[in-house]
Structure 1
Amino acid sequence: MRRVALSDVMACGSMVVVEGCIIGLTIMASTAMAKGMSPFVFVVYTNALSSLILLPYSFFFDTNRVTISQNLAFVGLSYSSPIVACGFANQMPALSFILAILLRSTKFDWKRSGSLARLIGTLISFGGAISLTLYKGPTIKAPSLTLPLRPPLLVFISTHENWVLGCKLFAASSFALAIWNFLQAKTLKICKQVMKIISFYTLFGTIQTTGLALYFERDPEAWKLGLNFELLVIVLTGIFSSLIRTKVQMWCTRLKGPFFVALFKPCGIAYATTFGCLLFSTTFHYGSITGAFICGVGYYTVLWGQMKDEEASKLGGRNKIVSPSRDEKVPLLQQDSQV
């Protein structure tokens, strides 16, 4: 009994720490881009480092590299803020639900509480995304005009901010990731020896992002790296995304089930809000907090509805009731590649 309780505490603690690290690295990446680093170059270097790390361990670690989604997300980050990344990352269940309905891979049943919850949660999620895009609101703390302006160690906002464009790019990134998850769910049913081809994901991801970056970023100076903050962010992001986060999520999924990892995704909103209020109050907006919070409510509503639908499907299968749910199970480890 004690062993079970200890494993539960370790699993919860691990996921809380992982989500905190994700937000911390997102803030650091935002800072690097605000200092002039190209988001396209950043994606290339992190993918390349992940490839070098994962190729020798392809039979032990899983990974995901979504080229279009990654580039859209980090370009969006360069125009907006990490709180926007948190809000739009919580759109994934809603977008996956809509995509499954359109492609007829799931059946919507008005009589099921789970289906209704997923519909309501989707509307809440989209409302939060619209609020996040159109209303920033006042800053938490007005900047002082009496103190000399000094460059902060970390920034929570881009120096070339275009909030609406950043939100649009994040929305496109989420949609691209939802399509990728749907396609991969189909692929996993066809190819049973998935681990034998995992090593090629990061390799081809690196090739694709390099081609895209060379098209958009033609300044040779943008590709130069030194022993500076930008290099540190690339190394930490590559190591954490390819090994640490993936291994922790896989362990928690095996220990607690497929929905456990997804339950902690909105924790990023709490982290981003805390960091924003404490460290970046002169550039952090009330509207951002409100919109991200609404997105989190929608996320949990859709997730609860999905859990209820799957419970009903299992009961229907055992009792031989007609019309079980045919939801495609999206690999939960693949919902975090946006940031």
Structure 2
Amino acid sequence: MEEEMVPFTLMVIMEGCTIGLTIVTKTAMNGGMSPFVFIAYTNALGSILLLPYSFFFHHRGSEAVAGGRIEQPLFTLPLMLRFFFLGLTGVAISQNLAFFGLYYSSPIVVCVMGLLIPAISFLLSIITRTTKLDWRSSSIRVKVIGTLISIMGAIYVQVYRGPFIRKAASDDKLEAKINPPLLIFYSTPDRWVLGSTLLAASSLSVCVWNIIQVGTIKQYPQVMKVVSFYSLAGTIQCSIFSLIMERNINAWKLKLNMELLLIIITAIFGSVIRSTVHVSCAKMKGHLYVPMFKPFGIVFATAFGLTFFTNSLHYGSVIGAVITGMGYYTVTWGNIREDELLRKGHNSKDAADDQKVPLLQEDSQV
């Protein structure tokens, strides 16, 4: 019983903390903190912490070899190129798109567009021909149905907001204010679609990151070291982009205030705590265990938004979130069925090896 409850509890807490930090971060940015500065400093501090921690994490002798595979040297050109593209897709592009998507939409839309990741990954696997569209396979049929449901839910969220379930008390005054306090997720209808599109693009970037990561972990199975080096690459890329976009020198000056504390907490949580929990849970329960908890973010986003912050909730958002969540779990069920068939049939050595790879699941939240 304890073996089941501990990873379950940890994963629920991780989703709650991720959403909570995203909301608080957006509050700080509305208070004047530059998003580019926040992303650059958070990733820089995270990389500084993660690099030595990753070597400590894999210090045990049993970690040196995974599945009987001798690891290749770390500093090789193929791996360095992989780290570059992992940092580009998993950090630089995905985080910046996610922030601007959040700025123009709402927390629940962030979660909904994140639930598109399995569906987008399935479509990419068909486009790249790594998955054959065999209609005789029950798992393929399930994943096709789940993908269609997910896309329908995402489109529903984009095009229909609907009446209020709960209207924030300050909604009638928002348009008359330039920068109202604690205004986190207000967006005008004409930018709602833009925010959703940016978040969907962020999920696409994460899917590409996942594809690159699979091959990288096969070559170098020490996951946390891979994370530390692509995080470093992403930090450099984010810093260059941030310096171009934010040219106000005063914005880069840190002070002993809540913004600095937020940067430290976010860096520690995102680079060390969440990564460790995800990798550990994936090792214990399988690589599909961690993604099962992503829909919990919708519950937390709704609860936090309605309880602590200025945030209105629409029927359209909730209905779209439910539809997308159904599609998410349908595609995940198809993946589970496919894994079961592969294990029973032993169709290929590579397929069996993939089950042992504890991939880190990336979030689209900033």
User: TM-score normalised to the size of structure 2?
Assistant: 0.81
Match of 1:291 in 2: 320
Residues 275-286 of structure 1: pairs in structure 2 closer than 5 A: 275-280=304-309, 283-286=312-315
Aligned 8 A contact 1:138 1:287 in 2: yes
RMSD: 3.1
**Alignment map for 1:27-66 (pairs within 5 Å):** 27-61=23-57, 65-66=90-91
Give 1:87 deviation, angstroms: 0.8
Instruction: Give 2:139's match in structure 1, choosing from 106, 110, 114.
Output: 114
Partner of 1:81: 106
The percent of aligned pairs where both chains have the same amino acid is: 50
Match of residue 103 from structure 1: 128
1:175–1:143 distance in 2 versus 1, CA, 3 Å: closer
Structure 2 equivalent of residue 335 of structure 1: 362
In structure 2, the residue corresponding to 1:94 is in which secondary structure? Answer: helix
**Deviation (angstroms), 1:223:** 2.1
How far apart are residue 143 of structure 1 and its match?
4.6
CA deviations 1:268-311 (Å, max 9, x no partner) are 11111222333447523222222222221111010000111121
CA–CA distance in structure 2, aligned partners of residues 87 and 263 of structure 1: 14
Greater CA drift, 142-151 or 65-74: 142-151
Q: Does the 8 Å CA contact 1:182/1:328 hold for their aligned counterparts?
A: no
Partner SS for 2:162:
coil
Paired residues of 2:152 and 2:323 also in contact (CA < 8 A): yes
Q: 2: distance between equivalents of 1:113 and 1:327? A: 22
Aligned partner of 1:8 in structure 2 is: 4
Note closer, same or farther for the CA distance 1:200–1:271 as it changes in structure 2 (3 Å cut): same
Q: Secondary structure in 2 aligned to 1:46?
A: helix
Query: Residues 8 and 271 from structure 1, CA distance in 2 versus in 1: closer, same or farther, beyond 3 angstroms?
Result: same
Structure 2: which 5+ residue stretches go unaligned?
59-85
Measure the CA separation in 2 of the matches of 1:188 and 1:332. Answer: 8
Q: Counterpart amino acid of 1:52? A: I
2:20 counterpart of 1:20:
no
Mark the CA change 1:222 to 1:166 in structure 2 (over 3 Å): closer, same or farther.
Answer: farther
Give the distance between the partners of 2:113 and 2:186, measured in 1 at CA: 17
Residue identity in the other structure for 1:93: P
> Which of residues 237, 249, 254 in structure 1 aligns to 2:283?
254
Bigger shift: residues 39-48 or 154-163: 154-163
Secondary structure at 1:111 match in 2: coil
Aligned pairs for 1:98-247 (under 5 A) are 98-144=123-169, 154-158=182-186, 162-192=191-221, 197-247=226-276
One-letter code aligned to 2:21: L
How many residues align? The count is: 331
SS of corresponding position for 1:49: helix
Q: Whole-Å Cα distance in 2 between the matches of residues 128 and 261 of structure 1?
A: 22
Aligned letter for 2:258?
F
Separation of aligned partners in 2, 1:275 and 1:37: 21
Whether the aligned pair in 1 keeps the contact of 2:278 and 2:361 (CA below 8 Å) is no
Going from structure 1 to structure 2, the CA distance change for 1:209 and 1:38 (only over 3 Å counts) comes to same
- Residue 335 of structure 2: which of 284, 306, 318 is its match? 306
Partner of 1:336: helix, strand, or coil? coil
Contact 1:136 1:287 in 2 (8 A): yes
Deviation of 1:175 (Å)? 0.6
Question: 1:139·1:281 contact (CA, 8 Å) conserved in 2?
Answer: no
Question: What's the secondary structure of 1:184's corresponding residue?
Answer: helix
The CA distance in 1 between the partners of 2:50 and 2:188, in whole Å, is 35
| TM superposition score normalised by structure 1 | 0.87
Q: Could you tell me which residue of structure 1 aligns to residue 300 of structure 2?
A: 271
- Deviation of 1:135 after TM superposition, in Å, equals 1.7
Q: Secondary structure of 1:334's match?
A: coil
Q: Tell me if structure 2 keeps the 8 A contact 1:185–1:331.
A: no
- SS of equivalent to 1:140: strand
Alpha carbons of 1:33 and 1:183: their partners in 2 closer, same or farther (altered >3 Å)?
Answer: same
State the 1:158 CA deviation: 4.3
Q: After superposition, give the CA deviation of every residue in 1:304-334 in whole Å (9 maximum; x if it has no partner).
A: 001111212222227x9xxx98997786423
2:65 corresponding residue in structure 1: none
